[in-house]
Amino acid sequence: MNDLRELYQEVIMDHSRRPRNHGTIEHANRTAHGDNPLCGDKVTVYLDLKGGLVKDIGFDGRGCAISMASASLMTEAVKGRTVEEASRIFEQFHDLVTGEGEVDEEALDKLVVLAGVRDYPVRVKCATLPWHTLTAAINQKEEVISTE
Ligand code: ZN
Protein backbone atom coordinates (compact mmCIF):
# COMPACT_ATOMS: atom_id res chain seq x y z
CA MET A 1 0.00 0.00 0.00
CA ASN A 2 2.89 2.36 0.79
CA ASP A 3 4.45 1.71 -2.61
CA LEU A 4 1.15 2.51 -4.27
CA ARG A 5 0.84 5.72 -2.27
CA GLU A 6 4.33 6.73 -3.34
CA LEU A 7 3.54 6.01 -6.97
CA TYR A 8 0.33 8.04 -6.72
CA GLN A 9 2.28 10.89 -5.12
CA GLU A 10 4.79 10.82 -7.97
CA VAL A 11 2.06 11.06 -10.60
CA ILE A 12 0.47 13.99 -8.74
CA MET A 13 3.78 15.84 -8.49
CA ASP A 14 4.56 15.16 -12.15
CA HIS A 15 1.19 16.54 -13.29
CA SER A 16 1.40 19.59 -11.03
CA ARG A 17 4.91 20.45 -12.22
CA ARG A 18 4.34 19.71 -15.90
CA PRO A 19 0.60 20.09 -16.43
CA ARG A 20 -0.82 18.56 -19.61
CA ASN A 21 -3.05 20.65 -21.89
CA HIS A 22 -1.89 23.79 -20.14
CA GLY A 23 -2.90 27.12 -21.66
CA THR A 24 -5.68 28.26 -23.89
CA ILE A 25 -6.69 26.34 -27.02
CA GLU A 26 -7.49 27.29 -30.58
CA HIS A 27 -11.22 27.44 -31.39
CA ALA A 28 -12.34 27.61 -27.76
CA ASN A 29 -16.10 28.22 -27.69
CA ARG A 30 -16.61 27.93 -23.91
CA THR A 31 -14.60 29.34 -21.04
CA ALA A 32 -15.26 29.22 -17.32
CA HIS A 33 -13.39 30.42 -14.25
CA GLY A 34 -13.26 28.57 -10.98
CA ASP A 35 -12.11 29.81 -7.61
CA ASN A 36 -11.44 27.96 -4.38
CA PRO A 37 -10.87 30.73 -1.82
CA LEU A 38 -10.29 28.20 0.97
CA CYS A 39 -6.95 27.29 -0.57
CA GLY A 40 -6.37 30.09 -3.11
CA ASP A 41 -6.73 27.85 -6.17
CA LYS A 42 -7.83 29.47 -9.43
CA VAL A 43 -8.62 27.59 -12.62
CA THR A 44 -9.80 28.65 -16.07
CA VAL A 45 -11.07 25.93 -18.40
CA TYR A 46 -11.17 26.39 -22.17
CA LEU A 47 -13.34 24.08 -24.22
CA ASP A 48 -13.89 23.34 -27.87
CA LEU A 49 -17.28 21.69 -27.65
CA LYS A 50 -18.90 20.40 -30.83
CA GLY A 51 -21.93 18.16 -31.21
CA GLY A 52 -21.78 17.09 -27.58
CA LEU A 53 -18.12 16.15 -27.88
CA VAL A 54 -15.14 17.60 -26.02
CA LYS A 55 -12.98 18.12 -29.12
CA ASP A 56 -10.29 19.99 -27.25
CA ILE A 57 -9.68 21.25 -23.73
CA GLY A 58 -7.07 23.38 -22.02
CA PHE A 59 -6.66 25.05 -18.67
CA ASP A 60 -4.84 27.86 -16.98
CA GLY A 61 -4.48 28.53 -13.34
CA ARG A 62 -2.49 28.55 -10.19
CA GLY A 63 -2.89 26.81 -6.91
CA CYS A 64 -1.78 23.86 -4.84
CA ALA A 65 -0.35 20.66 -6.30
CA ILE A 66 -3.66 18.82 -5.84
CA SER A 67 -5.72 21.36 -7.82
CA MET A 68 -3.18 21.64 -10.64
CA ALA A 69 -2.64 17.88 -10.91
CA SER A 70 -6.40 17.34 -10.83
CA ALA A 71 -6.92 19.86 -13.65
CA SER A 72 -4.15 18.28 -15.74
CA LEU A 73 -5.46 14.74 -15.21
CA MET A 74 -9.01 15.90 -15.92
CA THR A 75 -8.10 17.35 -19.32
CA GLU A 76 -6.52 14.02 -20.28
CA ALA A 77 -9.54 12.09 -19.01
CA VAL A 78 -12.24 14.04 -20.88
CA LYS A 79 -10.52 15.01 -24.14
CA GLY A 80 -12.30 13.28 -27.00
CA ARG A 81 -15.17 12.16 -24.76
CA THR A 82 -18.83 13.07 -25.00
CA VAL A 83 -20.36 15.45 -22.47
CA GLU A 84 -22.30 12.51 -20.95
CA GLU A 85 -19.11 10.47 -20.56
CA ALA A 86 -17.33 13.44 -18.98
CA SER A 87 -20.11 13.97 -16.44
CA ARG A 88 -20.12 10.24 -15.60
CA ILE A 89 -16.36 10.38 -14.98
CA PHE A 90 -16.91 13.42 -12.73
CA GLU A 91 -19.53 11.51 -10.70
CA GLN A 92 -17.10 8.62 -10.27
CA PHE A 93 -14.27 11.00 -9.41
CA HIS A 94 -16.45 12.79 -6.87
CA ASP A 95 -17.24 9.45 -5.18
CA LEU A 96 -13.52 8.60 -5.20
CA VAL A 97 -12.34 11.78 -3.46
CA THR A 98 -15.23 11.97 -0.99
CA GLY A 99 -15.08 8.26 -0.20
CA GLU A 100 -18.79 7.94 -0.94
CA GLY A 101 -20.45 5.32 -3.07
CA GLU A 102 -19.05 2.54 -5.17
CA VAL A 103 -16.07 3.52 -7.29
CA ASP A 104 -15.36 2.08 -10.72
CA GLU A 105 -11.55 2.25 -10.82
CA GLU A 106 -11.42 1.13 -14.42
CA ALA A 107 -13.55 4.09 -15.54
CA LEU A 108 -11.39 6.44 -13.50
CA ASP A 109 -8.13 5.20 -14.96
CA LYS A 110 -5.27 7.54 -13.92
CA LEU A 111 -7.59 9.69 -11.80
CA VAL A 112 -7.33 7.07 -9.03
CA VAL A 113 -4.02 8.68 -8.01
CA LEU A 114 -6.11 11.33 -6.23
CA ALA A 115 -7.85 8.74 -4.03
CA GLY A 116 -5.76 9.84 -1.02
CA VAL A 117 -7.61 13.17 -0.98
CA ARG A 118 -10.50 11.49 0.85
CA ASP A 119 -8.35 11.47 4.01
CA TYR A 120 -8.07 15.28 3.83
CA PRO A 121 -11.59 16.73 3.59
CA VAL A 122 -10.27 20.26 3.06
CA ARG A 123 -8.48 19.04 -0.10
CA VAL A 124 -11.66 17.72 -1.70
CA LYS A 125 -12.47 21.23 -2.93
CA CYS A 126 -9.00 21.51 -4.50
CA ALA A 127 -9.47 18.23 -6.37
CA THR A 128 -13.02 18.95 -7.56
CA LEU A 129 -12.52 22.66 -8.49
CA PRO A 130 -11.38 21.90 -12.08
CA TRP A 131 -14.35 19.56 -12.55
CA HIS A 132 -16.88 22.11 -11.29
CA THR A 133 -15.27 24.64 -13.63
CA LEU A 134 -15.53 22.19 -16.52
CA THR A 135 -19.23 21.63 -15.72
CA ALA A 136 -19.80 25.40 -15.72
CA ALA A 137 -18.08 25.69 -19.11
CA ILE A 138 -20.15 22.84 -20.58
CA ASN A 139 -23.41 24.40 -19.35
CA GLN A 140 -22.64 27.79 -20.84
CA LYS A 141 -24.48 29.06 -23.87
CA GLU A 142 -22.39 28.87 -27.00
CA GLU A 143 -20.34 32.00 -27.27
CA VAL A 144 -20.06 33.51 -30.69
CA ILE A 145 -16.49 34.57 -31.17
CA SER A 146 -16.20 37.36 -33.68
CA THR A 147 -13.06 38.80 -35.17
CA GLU A 148 -14.87 42.01 -36.13
ZN1 ZN B 1 -5.79 23.72 -3.20
DSSP 29-63: -EEEEEEETTTTEEEEEEEEEETTEEEEEEEEEE-
pLDDT at 91: 96
Asked whether residue 80 carries a pLDDT value surpassing 80, the answer given is: yes
Is the pTM above the cut of 0.85? yes
Distance CA 73, CA 79 (A): 10
Considering only residues 106 and 50, tell me which one the structure prediction assigns the higher pLDDT.
50
Distance 66 CA to ligand 1 centre (A): 6
Distance 110 CA to ligand 1 centre (A): 19
pLDDT at 145: 52
- State the first-to-last Cα distance of the chain, in angstroms, to the nearest integer: 57
Distance 144 CA to ligand 1 centre (A): 32
Distance 128 CA to ligand 1 centre (A): 10
Residue 102's pLDDT band (boundaries 50, 70, 90)? confident
